[in-house]
């Protein structure tokens, strides 16, 4: 990303926001706000704070990500993912900044059997997916200088994610029964950060899919994590119906980075390579944490 650029990170203590915060080395022209410090649901405060900083770019990493919990907490999910996105986009427009909004593969219903591109029509199945899709709409309508980046099956060293859940179950010596009929692309937060910064450097706008390459199932991902960390545990494949989650999920939600590819900007790599590096770098913390 060209320097200097004044950047604000919203949701800076979450899984993705903390990755941006670490990468950009907060200080100088980078301002990072946790939810406690700046809640995106407080529109007036968001406008006031950003008007004082006058950033060039706002990274809206604030998100409600409890897919199942959202079915009972619909209002709070929409407050953060939809109205929060509107507040951030409106404030960014007021101060003349680019807004970056991070969305999800769960805006699709999974009826396809080939990867979804930016030109496929969304049809979310869950409250979470619907809230993120409306967050996209508000971001787009409130500020023409926007980047909307859809990603999938995100994981990193901070925050809550599937990999950490699997490792917690392993340490609790609980049986691992993992869904094997949902397909997607695991994506490391570091890869998404690098891709985002390249798009900012190139001053791109619009919608992009940004997921690591290839596809797998949650069951196969759980196996890869256990093998990668040297855990000898049995992982049993089950169906979505057997798992019985409150929220409906797409059976197939693989994203194709179609626009990145057309523009020669695709930095994303095979998910296996990213996972291998992530596990190697964080092996001690993951095994002992």
> At CA 157, angle to CA 153 and CA 115, rounded to 5?
15
Is 128 an annotated catalytic residue? yes
Catalytic residue among 101, 128, 138, 208: 128
Catalogue the active-site residues.
128
């Amino acid at each position: 990303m060209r320097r200097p650029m004044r950047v604000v990170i919203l949701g800076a203590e979450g899984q993705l926001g903390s990755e941006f915060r670490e990468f950009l080395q907060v200080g100088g022209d980078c301002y990072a706000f946790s939810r406690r410090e700046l809640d995106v649901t407080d529109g007036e405060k968001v406008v006031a704070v950003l008007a004082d900083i006058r950033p060039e770019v706002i990274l809206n990493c604030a998100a409600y990500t409890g897919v199942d919990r959202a079915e009972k907490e619909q209002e709070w999910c929409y407050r953060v993912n939809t109205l929060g996105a509107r507040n951030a986009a409106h404030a960014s427009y007021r101060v003349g900044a680019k807004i970056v909004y991070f969305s999800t593969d769960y805006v699709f219903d999974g009826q396809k059997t080939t990867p979804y591109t930016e030109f496929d029509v969304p049809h979310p199945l869950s409250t979470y997916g619907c809230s993120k899709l409306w967050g996209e709409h508000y971001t787009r309508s409130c500020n023409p200088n926007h980047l909307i980046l859809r990603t999938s099956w995100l994981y990193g060293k901070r925050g809550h994610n599937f990999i950490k859940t699997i490792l917690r179950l392993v340490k609790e010596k609980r049986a691992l029964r993992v869904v094997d009929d949902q397909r997607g692309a695991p994506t490391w937060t570091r890869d998404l950060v690098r891709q985002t910064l390249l798009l900012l450097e190139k001053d791109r706008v619009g919608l992009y899919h940004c997921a690591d390459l290839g596809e797998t199932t949650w069951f196969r991902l759980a196996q890869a994590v256990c093998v990668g960390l040297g855990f000898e545990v049995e992982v049993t494949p089950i169906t979505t119906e057997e798992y019985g989650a409150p929220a409906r999920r797409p059976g197939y939600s693989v994203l194709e980075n179609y626009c990145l590819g057309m523009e020669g900007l695709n930095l994303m790599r095979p998910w296996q390579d990213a996972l291998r590096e992530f596990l190697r770098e964080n092996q001690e913390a993951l095994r002992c944490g």
